[in-house]
Structure 1
């Protein structure tokens, strides 16, 4: 029986990338295709405008903040699940749940800059990215099939 010992963040990332490529699996986390507000507006479009800003509002990069600050935790969680004997799909679903909770937590903690006074007056509160909570509640994950290079198939 052979064992795999990986030490250090970059080595762990590389080893897991190889495992994912071998299994041709990946994980998509965020606002998934097809999510809409009750009026039909694309939730992904609203999230994009929040993430990168628009003419009328500054960027509030909740997805980039989450990925930059929490992806190491997800990588380690995947390694733990695989080492514990989970199959790839089960391990990815477990990490997907963690990633969704983490991204929602980033939004709930508040992503600056603060809302303008006029926005606070209109909404009745100063919480950024949480006017109706629809976008936050639309964050989801999907285990995806990938090609040998890791791109969604």
Structure 2
């Protein structure tokens, strides 16, 4: 705050601060409306299922199994690029159980108590510009949620999931959910 003298200047400055604080700006951080996977599934639905656990009904579908068949007739499963034979199989409808992986609640419990003080410091550093301060706070919380998603490891993926993905990172597959964490400041 600039040095100032006189009651009128002080009142004018306080009014400008009050106007900025009472602008009605609102910060939302997480998986915002409209974020979807390429197949149209809302990211928030997948994120909530990962956070709280649940069951997912997988509809019946066909899948190609790829094999490499040697000249002597012995075959083994193979990646599509290494296969010389493929067979389509019907996989019946089934239920997959997703365990709770509370990455979001962990972020809130670890960092939430600091957010009020951090926002206060940002407000002061930004001359009480609420919109700018909330945007900076949104960026900070977004990063904290993403860090929690990356660091989360328990419970681990099922062996079948690890085999399919090629790695055991419970909350990351395509990184679409991770990259969909966002924030918005609305009036």
TM-score in same-fold range (> 0.5) = yes
- The answer to which of 29-38 and 106-115 deviates more is 106-115
1:127-146 superposed matches below 5 A: 127-145=169-187
Unmatched tracts of structure 1, length 5 or more:
3-19, 146-153
| Consecutive aligned runs of 4 or more in structure 1 exceeding 6 Å deviation | none
8 Å Cα contact 2:157/2:169 also seen in 1: yes
SS in structure 2 at match of 1:103: helix
- For the pair 1:64 / 2:105, whether they are aligned, the reply is yes
Does the residue aligned with 2:54 lie in a helix, a strand or coil? coil
* Structure with greater Cα Rg: 2
Over the residues paired in the alignment, what is the CA RMSD in angstroms? 2.1
Q: Which of 64, 75, 79 is residue 120 of structure 2 equivalent to?
A: 79
Q: Is 1:42 the counterpart of 2:42 in the alignment?
A: yes
| Map of 1:113 onto structure 2 | 155
TM-score of the aligned structures, taking structure 2 as reference length: 0.64
Consecutive unaligned residues in structure 2, runs of 5 or more: 1-9, 12-19, 56-96
Alpha-carbon distance in structure 2 between the residues aligned to 1:144 and 1:74: 18
**8 Å Cα contact 2:51-2:101 kept in structure 1:** yes
Structure that is richer in strand per residue: 2
- Structure (1 or 2) with the greater helix fraction: 1
Deviations 1:93-150 (A, max 9, x none): 00001011111011111242111222111211100110000000000001133xxxxx
